[in-house]
Amino acid sequence: MIKYDHSIDQLKQQLDQLAQVSAALEPTPEQREHYIQQLSQYAHDFIDHLHERISFKKGDPTPGSLTINETGQPFEQLLVTYAKEVEQYGIKPASGGHLGYIPGGGLYASSLGDYLADVTNEYAGIYFGSPGAVTLEEELLHWMKKVFGFPREAMGNLTSGGSIANLIALTAARDKYKVKSERIANSVIYLSPQVHHCVTKAIRIIGLEDVQIRYVNLDDRFRLDAQHLETLIEADKAAGLQPFLVIASAGTTDTGAVDPLEAIGHIAQKHQLWYHIDGAYGGFFILVDDKKPLFKGVELADSLVIDPHKSLFLPYGTGAVLIKDKEALMHSNHYTANYMQDTIDDSVPISPAEVSPELTKHFRGLRMWLPLQLHGLAPFVACLEEKLVLTDYFRKCLEQEGFKIGPTPDLSVSYFWLPADDISTQNRMNEQLMERIHQDGSVFLSSTSLDGMFVIRMAILAFRTKQRTIDKAMEMILRAKIELGF
C-alpha cells in the first residue's frame, strides 16, 4: 500500500522508482519502430493474401489463449496469438468474400486515420477540447447534408453505427411530440415489417415499448405501401389515437428495398408526423447517378441515418445521423456540469457531446475524412456502381444454373433458392444447402425467411468484392449442390 506521509525526499525516491516501472508505457523510438515494422508486415501479409483465404470458418478460440497475462508478452507473440485465436475464426469482414450480412469495409486509409487519432488522442466530444477535431467532423456532416439535401443548419452527429444513430433520431422524435407518461399508450408509430431490428430495439430503449406499432403492407418488391400507410393514419386519427412517427427504409437489410420516400414524405407532412429514414445500409448509393431517383424525397425527412461503415466502406464503428429540429435533438442530450464551466462558450459551434448520449467520444471522423481527402470521391462512386453490376451478374449466373431468384433489387442485396415441388421440401433443401455452404466457407452467404420461405441472401457491398469473388461463390454453390445430390 502506498503511504503519503513521507518526507519530500522520500516521496521523490518513491516517484523515481514508480517512474522506472511505468516507463514501459512510453516505448522508446527504437521500440516504436520495431512495433510498427512488425505490425506493418502483418498488415501487408493479411491484405495481400486475403483473396486466397476462405471467408468463413466455424471454430472457437483455444481455452485460455486470450486470458490476460499480467507479466507481459513479446509483441511478436501477441501477433501470433491474434492471428491464430481471433483472425482465424468466424466471418472475415475485411474479405471481399463477405456476402452474407451487410459488410463493413476496412479501407487501409481509414486504419491510418485511426492510428493517427489514437496516437494524438484528440477528444472529439467538446469544441473546447479540440476545435480542430470537432470542426473536421462538422465538415463531414455538412458534406452529408449537401449529399442528402438537408439544410446546412440541420444538426448531426458521427456515431458508432446505425443503432446509436437511430436511437438519437427516435429520441428527438419522441421529445418533439412529448410522447411520455399517459400519452405513450395512445401514440402510434408506423413501420415496415422489413425495418431493421435496431429500430424496434431503440423504440424499447427510449421507453416506448407500450406505444402502438402499425406494420404497413408491402408491395411485391418489399417496399412500404404508401397508400396503406395513409389509410392506417386516417383510421388511427378517427379512433382518437395520436400518430407521431413514420419510419421508412432506404435499403432494407433483408432484401435491399428502398421505400417510396417521396410519397411517404408527403403523407408525413400532410398529417404532421415526424418522418425518419433509415438509410444505414443504402444511403450512399444516392451518389450513383442511376440510383438517384430512388432517393427522391430523402430531403423531406426530419431525420436520416446513414452508415459510412457500410456504403462508404469504412471500418465498423462509423455511423451518422442528421436531424433538422435542433431543439428536439438538444432537449435530451444537452446538459451542463459545474466542472465543465470552462468549456461553455455560446460563440463556438455546438459540441458533439451536446447532441448525443456519448460524452467520451472517439475521434472517429478521421477514419472518414482521411480516405475522402486522400482518394477523392470518384473511387467510392465507382465501387458502389461495381457492386450493383456484380449483383446483376451473380443473379444471372444463378438463374443460368437453375436457381430461382427474387425480384430485381433496388440496390445490392438479393436472394435466391433452389426450387422444389412443395415448400416443405424446398425449405429443407435450401437449409441443407446453406449449411454446406457454411461448412465450405470459401465465400460467406447468409439466409433469411420471407413469407415462410427459406432463402439464401447475397449482400454485395464489400469494396474488395470483385468478379472473381462471384465466380468463386458460384463454384462453391454448385459444388455444395452436387455434394448434396440436388
pLDDT digits (tens, 9 = 90+) for 375-384: 999 999 999 9
Is the model's pLDDT at 474 over the cut of 80?
yes
Residues 251 and 309 in one domain: yes
Provide the 10 A C-beta neighbour count for residue 218.
Answer: 19
Q: Is the pLDDT of residue 1 over 60?
A: no
In a domain, 214, yes or no: yes
What per-residue confidence (pLDDT) applies to 96? 94
* Structural domain for 335, as ranges: 114-375
- Output 128 or 445, whichever has higher pLDDT: 445
From residue 73, alpha-carbon distances to 22, 68, 81 in Å are: 16, 10, 11
- For residue 143, the 8-state DSSP code is H
How many separate domains does the chain show? 2
Give the chain's radius of gyration (CA, Å): 25
**Are residues 299 and 180 part of one domain?**
yes
- Which residue from 239, 261, 129 is spatially nearest to 192, judged by alpha carbons? 261
Instruction: Give the contacts of 202 (CB within 8 A, at least 6 positions apart).
Output: 163, 166, 167, 170, 171
Residue that terminates a domain, selected from 375, 393, 426: 375
Looking at residue 254, its pLDDT comes to 84
Contact 319, 306 (CB under 8 A): yes
Same domain, 181 and 278: yes
For residues 407 and 330, state if they share a domain.
no
pLDDT at 339 over 60: no
Q: So what's the pLDDT on residue 337?
A: 62
Assess contact for 352 and 329: CB atoms under 8 A. Answer: no
Round to whole Å and give the CA distance between 417 and 399: 10
Q: Do both 348 and 388 map to the same domain?
A: no
pLDDT for res 4: 60
**What mean pLDDT comes out for the span 438-446?**
96
Instruction: Assess whether 358 and 416 both reside in one domain.
Output: no
> Are the C-beta atoms of residues 123 and 349 closer than 8 Å to each other?
no
Q: Are residues 311 and 398 in the same domain?
A: no
Of 375, 400, 435, the position where a domain reaches its end is 375
| Same domain as 343, residue 465 | no
Q: Is residue 439 part of a domain?
A: yes
- Tell me what the pLDDT averaged over the chain comes to: 93
**What band does 103 get if pLDDT is binned at 50, 70 and 90?**
confident
Residue 241: count other Cβ atoms within 10 Å of its Cβ. 16
34-44 residue pLDDT tens: 999 999 999 99
Contact 250, 279 (CB under 8 A): yes
Residue 30: inside a domain? no
Residue 43: inside a domain: no
- Across the range 277-287, mean pLDDT stands at 96
Mean pLDDT of 102-120: 92
- Tell me what pLDDT residue 338 has: 61
Residue 208's domain is classified under what CATH number?
A: 3.40.640.10
Q: Please, what is the Cα angle at 366 between 365 and 372, to 5 degrees?
A: 95
Give the domain-ending residue among 355, 375, 395.
375
Residue type, 149: G
We report the CATH number of the domain holding residue 391 as: 3.90.1150.170
Stretch 77-106: mean pLDDT = 91
Q: 154-192: per-residue pLDDT in tens?
A: 999 999 998 999 999 999 999 999 999 999 999 999 999
**Rounded Cα distance, 88 and 130, in Å:** 38
Band of residue 274 on the pLDDT scale cut at 50, 70, 90: very high
Q: What is the mean pLDDT of residues 219-234?
A: 95
Distance CA(109)–CA(367), nearest Å, equals 7
**Separation CA 373–CA 113 (nearest Å):** 11
Q: Does residue 288 sit in the same domain as residue 436?
A: no
Adjacency order of strands within the sheet including 446-450: 404-405, 413-417, 453-459, 446-450
Collapsed DSSP state (helix, strand, coil) of residue 424: helix
pLDDT of 229 over the 70 cut: yes
Instruction: List phi, psi (to 5°) of 230.
Output: -65, -35
- Nearby residues of 88 by Cβ (< 8 Å), 6 or more positions away: 57, 59
Per-residue pLDDT, averaged over 370-398, amounts to 97
Domain membership flag for residue 65 = no
Q: What is the pLDDT of residue 342?
A: 64
By percentage, how much of the chain surpasses pLDDT 90? 84
Q: What is the pLDDT of residue 210?
A: 95
The one-letter code for the residue type at 65 is: S
> Tell me, what's the pLDDT at 348?
72
Same domain for 397 and 313, yes or no, is no
Is residue 269, in this structure, part of any structural domain at all? yes
**pLDDT band at residue 345 under the 50/70/90 scheme:** low
What value does the mean pLDDT take over residues 276-284?
A: 96
Do both 416 and 367 map to the same domain?
Answer: no
How many whole angstroms from its chain centre is CA 296? 22
Helices within 83-215 (DSSP H only): 108-120, 131-148, 162-176, 197-205
Q: Evaluate whether residue 23 is within a structural domain.
A: no
Are residues 384 and 370 located together in one domain of the fold? Answer: no
At 69 the pLDDT is: 86
